Amino acid sequence: MTERLERKRAKDPYQPKFYAAITKEKTLEMEMKGVIKDMIIYFAYLAIIIIICYGSRDSNAFRQKTAIEKAVIHAGMNCEILPTGDTC
């Protein structure tokens, strides 16, 4: 009876080497899923940043910038109208 049991074990595919190979493959799959998940999250974050940066571009943005500079930096003085000798 033990002889039959030993032959059955020898033919059994669930040997320690088989378990080790399955375990290693499962571990690699889980790591790959984690990396793919991180990449998806990163690309979603990147897409949000790009939308925020380039979403509200205005054709008059340069004029807004210069108007704000004149109002804040030059205290509202209009340097283009001043005579040549005066400084802003």
Q: pLDDT band for 85, please (50, 70, 90 cuts).
A: low
pLDDT tens-digit series, residues 34-81: 999 999 999 999 998 887 777 666 677 667 777 777 777 766 566 665
> Half-sphere exposure of residue 70, counting CA atoms within 13 Å on the CB side?
12
Q: What's the confidence (pLDDT) of residue 42? A: 95
* pLDDT tops 80 at residue 13: no
- Give residue 7's identity as a one-letter amino acid code: R
pTM reported for the whole predicted model:
0.47
Q: What is the rounded CA–CA span in Å between residue 84 and residue 88?
A: 10
Domain ranges of the chain: 2-57, 58-88
Give the contacts of 64 (CB within 8 A, at least 6 positions apart).
58
Other Cβ atoms less than 10 A from the Cβ of 30: the count is 10
DSSP state of 82: S
